[in-house]
Amino acid sequence: MGLLEKIKNRGQYYLPVFAQQATYLLHASGTLCEMMETMDMTKWRSLEKEIKACEVQGDALLTELHEQLSEKLIARIKKIDIQAIAMSMDELLDHINDSAKSFHLYSPDRIDPQIADLAQYIHAQADALRHMVKYLGNIKANYAQIAKQCERITELEHAADDTYEEYIGFIFKNEKDAIQVIKYKNIAELLEAATDAAKRVSDNVRKVILKHME
């Protein structure tokens, strides 16, 4: 490989990192959905460990990216924007991990449909992110595809907000035990926070594509 080709590839050194982060997010969110399909605490612990492994690998990946950024390599996207996208993806992975831990912490007696729906929204957002990062190598040429996935993530976040609000009303109306209300409310809040985190990734990508379209 010639020097110019090496420089060109180094200019997009962040793309494999984004792609790997998206892979971790898709796996972790899919595993979270699996947790909604069982009431077996042993299975919960096993699935939670899978998600935790993704979170640990994601942290290591972010550290590696920060080291690359510190080397002052050429980049097609400004370093501060690369960092913002990567850190928001890592934050989303943290939220998914926190959501998984909440099942072990609170040991809910049931999984209400709204809770399962919130997990599905997170997984769908992770899928949109997986599609989105594939197009970041050429933002101008792929503007429409990137914008489409950003919009998809936003729509899912709005749907998650509606589901969360509906669920809070449901548990306050139907749960008579205050401890149970707190338990289910906290689980729902963690899941809803993850959907918000996914939207922050999308927002950071939107900032980048706007700069490239100026």
pLDDT one-digit tens code per residue, 62-71: 998 888 887 7
Look up the pTM and report it: 0.92
Mean pLDDT across 46-69: 93
**pLDDT tens digit sequence for 8-42:** 455 577 899 999 999 999 999 999 999 999 999 99
CB 18 within 8 A of CB 129: no
The sign of the torsion formed by the CA atoms of 29, 93, 155, 151 equals: negative
Report how far residue 102's alpha carbon sits from residue 110's, in angstroms, rounded to the nearest whole number. 13
CB 97 within 8 A of CB 52: yes
81: tokens are 């924007």
Q: For the chain, report the end-to-end CA distance as a whole number of angstroms.
A: 33
164: tokens are 């969360």
78: tokens are 């400004």
pLDDT on residue 1 = 41
160: tokens are 């998650």
DSSP label of 138: S
